[in-house]
Chains A and B, each alone.
Chain A
Amino acid sequence: MLTNEQIKNKLIEKFGDVLTDFSEPYGMLTFEAPKDLNLKVMQFLYDDAELGFQFLTDLQAVHYPHDKGRELAVVYHLHNLKDNVRIRFKVFTSIEQPDVFTATKLYEAANWMERETYDFFGVNFIGHPNLKRVLNVDEMDYFPMRKEFPLEDQTRVDKDDEMFGRGGSFN
């Protein structure tokens, strides 16, 4: 049975101290990798006979606007189906140059997940076969899930939108 401790030791043995911030929130091993190593880490997790993280559960990004130089985090959730262990790792990138290597060569599933991440956060996945928007319209020229786009103020009064009860003949 594979434990979090074993995974951590194997990773440190292979990569040394470039992997940081090991923690176990709610039992899931979580760590941070440098962004130019994300593929190497994933390949190692995939290929190693003991680790065998061959299932990509989820891939998404998070925007931390106040963390200068590392505003965007790409989060990978991997699953070892044999031993039933999940891990999570993150890579951080700056928002000016949000380049991260694609995982599509390893996991076919990453294709649309990365497209979605690009669509909403503008993470540029290098080497992706078809990096274009997936849920939003192609003409969109911004990345809507970034924190600088707040949702509309629910108390605004300037908008005349009769069908939604603002302005119009109702007031």
Chain B
Amino acid sequence: MSDVLHPHIKLPDGSIEKQTTTLNLGPTHPATHGVFQNILELDGERIVSAEPTVGYIHRAFEKLAERRPLYQITPLTDRLNYCSSPINNMGWHLTCEKLLDVKTPKRVDYLRIIIMELARIADHLICNSIVGVDTGAYTGFLYVMQYRELIYEIYEEVCGSRLTTNIGRIGGFERNFTNTAFEKLEKFLKEYPKVLQEFENLFTRNRIFMERTIACGPISAERALNYGFTGPNLRAAGVDYDVRVHSPYSSYEDFQFEIPVGTTGDCYDRYLVRNQEMWQSLSILEQAYKKVQEFKGAEAEVYHADAPEYYLPEKQDVYTKMEALIWHFKIIMGETEIPKGEVYHSVEGANGELGFYLISDGGRTPYRLHFRRPCFIYYQAYPEIVKGAMLSDAIVTLSSLNLIAGEMDA
């Protein structure tokens, strides 16, 4: 029939008889917030099946890491979940410190916690406000951006960069926090609760937002566990698993905070869990800042561990002391041998358990390094979650799962 009417249109055989529509969502589409491709089979506006394709920005980090000394792998980890790079950086440093048996001073741990919790807030802020954007409310997103900006200014003050931070070193930080950094942190702690409260007022009991997110993209606790969910997505389904509590790292055991959990694992629960986690992070930040202020005198100047084999010496010393010069050369040229061993270490990333599995054969670079990227693992549940949902719900679910293409494709 169509051959007669429109001889110039060539359709695949059987595509007219087929009662469903195939829709290519992505790989570059403004609604997907990253390079994701989904081949959706639609019956009207209902999704019959989804087939996700990943790997569009695969950069072979695991292979690259096999030629790099440990400190050069940190910039690679930046580019995993780039909404919260500092957590990835710290996770990597902690993995190295576990392998190299470096003990960090308490003050370093607390400073790290400050940076990690700021990163968690920045990440959750983006995710939740993007869920708002996808349900048709742009205001919240624009409103909270200036506070993410403030967080980025704090990063900038500590390490000099904003997005891909490369923050910290094995054993501590590259330099001590400046007064400006602490002033900005104080400003953040003072102003942010009001902003977060207002953000919640905008969304939490908003009729349209609730209608769009409640019962949208739900997953049960059993399925979530079976699919390897971690982080806020698992907690929204009702499982109180948090690496910060289960296997505390970087002195998280010194802090008091709650693990918020949801019940249904739908987009609304995920939103609530993330918001609640931001409040908890704020409380951790306040505790950590107080603890940092308690260090007096020489203790307040400590910002790295005593690990000369891995921590770069002061530039002043490099020019004047023989030993410092040798260490400097060995570290920069990557000529330090890593002890033999295999270690798995994980941290609570902003979207789940971020793990590093590092095998060293005694050489200068890792023999094998594997990143456990939480969103690569839970993205495989996406077809099951969106099956039977409307197309617009699939978009909300995609952003509500907090999928970051950089992390997924490593």
A-to-B contact residues, CB < 8 Å = 25-26, 28, 30, 54-58, 60, 62-63, 75, 77, 81, 84, 86, 88, 107-109, 111-113, 116, 120, 133-137, 144-145, 151
In the complex, what distance in Å separates the CA atom of A58 from the CA atom of B354?
10
In the complex, what distance in Å separates the CA atom of A73 from the CA atom of B91?
25
Ranked nearest first, the 6 interchain pairs of A and B with the lowest CB-CB distance are A109-B228, A135-B55, A135-B58, A60-B370, A58-B372, A112-B380
Taking CB atoms, residues of chain A closer than 8 Å to B60 are 144
Contact A57 B54 (CB under 8 A): no
- With A108-B381, A109-B380 as contacts: A136 and B344 at CB distance below 8 Å: no
* Min CB gap A49→B, angstroms: 17
**Cross-chain pairs A/B with CB under 8 angstroms, 27 sampled:** A25-B342, A26-B98, A26-B99, A26-B341, A28-B344, A30-B342, A55-B225, A57-B344, A58-B344, A58-B372, A62-B368, A63-B368, A77-B355, A81-B241, A88-B344, A108-B380, A109-B378, A111-B380, A112-B377, A113-B228, A133-B55, A134-B55, A135-B410, A144-B60, A144-B63, A151-B63, A151-B67
Contact B226 A109 (CB under 8 A): yes
Known: A25-B342, A25-B343, A112-B379. 14 other contacts (CB 8 A): A30-B342, A57-B228, A57-B355, A57-B372, A81-B241, A81-B246, A86-B344, A88-B344, A107-B228, A109-B377, A112-B377, A113-B228, A137-B55, A151-B64
- Look across to chain B and name the residue whose beta carbon is closest to the beta carbon of A84: B246
In the complex, what distance in Å separates the CA atom of A127 from the CA atom of B40?
26
Taking CB atoms, residues of chain A closer than 8 Å to B367 are 62
Contact size range, B: 35 or more
- Look across to chain B and name the residue whose beta carbon is closest to the beta carbon of A86: B344
Check if B174 is an interface residue, CB within 8 A of chain A: no
In the complex, what distance in Å separates the CA atom of A158 from the CA atom of B245?
53
In the complex, what distance in Å separates the CA atom of A88 from the CA atom of B341?
14
Taking CB atoms, residues of chain A closer than 8 Å to B98 are 26
Check if B247 is an interface residue, CB within 8 A of chain A: yes
Check if B82 is an interface residue, CB within 8 A of chain A: no
In the complex, what distance in Å separates the CA atom of A143 from the CA atom of B239?
37
Taking CB atoms, residues of chain B closer than 8 Å to A107 are 226, 228
In the complex, what distance in Å separates the CA atom of A107 from the CA atom of B228?
8
Taking CB atoms, residues of chain A closer than 8 Å to B368 are 62-63
* Min CB gap A52→B, angstroms: 11
Taking CB atoms, residues of chain B closer than 8 Å to A112 are 376-377, 379-380
Restricting to B106-156, which residues have a CB under 8 Å from any CB of A? none
* Min CB gap B108→A, angstroms: 20
In the complex, what distance in Å separates the CA atom of A60 from the CA atom of B369?
10
Taking CB atoms, residues of chain A closer than 8 Å to B241 are 81
In the complex, what distance in Å separates the CA atom of A30 from the CA atom of B372?
18
Taking CB atoms, residues of chain A closer than 8 Å to B247 are 84
Taking CB atoms, residues of chain A closer than 8 Å to B225 are 54-55, 81
* Min CB gap A143→B, angstroms: 11
* Cβ-neighbour of B55 out of A58, A84, A136 (below 8 A): A136
- Look across to chain A and name the residue whose beta carbon is closest to the beta carbon of B367: A62
Restricting to B338-358, which residues have a CB under 8 Å from any CB of A? 341-344, 346, 353, 355, 357
Q: Mark B271-314, 1 if CB is under 8 A from A, else 0.
A: 00000000000000000000000000000000000000000000
Taking CB atoms, residues of chain B closer than 8 Å to A57 are 228, 344, 346, 353, 355, 372
* Cβ-neighbour of A145 out of B62, B228, B342 (below 8 A): B62
In the complex, what distance in Å separates the CA atom of A135 from the CA atom of B407?
12
* Cβ-neighbour of B344 out of A56, A77, A84, A134 (below 8 A): A77
Contact A25 B341 (CB under 8 A): yes
Contact A108 B227 (CB under 8 A): yes
Taking CB atoms, residues of chain B closer than 8 Å to A77 are 344, 355, 357, 372
In the complex, what distance in Å separates the CA atom of A57 from the CA atom of B355?
9
Contact A62 B359 (CB under 8 A): yes
Taking CB atoms, residues of chain B closer than 8 Å to A137 are 55
In the complex, what distance in Å separates the CA atom of A109 from the CA atom of B374?
11
* Cβ-neighbour of B357 out of A55, A60, A111, A145 (below 8 A): A60
- Look across to chain A and name the residue whose beta carbon is closest to the beta carbon of B378: A109
In the complex, what distance in Å separates the CA atom of A57 from the CA atom of B378?
11
Check if B66 is an interface residue, CB within 8 A of chain A: yes
Check if B409 is an interface residue, CB within 8 A of chain A: yes
* Cβ-neighbour of A135 out of B228, B355, B370, B409 (below 8 A): B409
In the complex, what distance in Å separates the CA atom of A88 from the CA atom of B368?
16
* Min CB gap A144→B, angstroms: 6
In the complex, what distance in Å separates the CA atom of A128 from the CA atom of B54?
18
In the complex, what distance in Å separates the CA atom of A77 from the CA atom of B239?
20
Check if B187 is an interface residue, CB within 8 A of chain A: no
Taking CB atoms, residues of chain A closer than 8 Å to B239 are 81
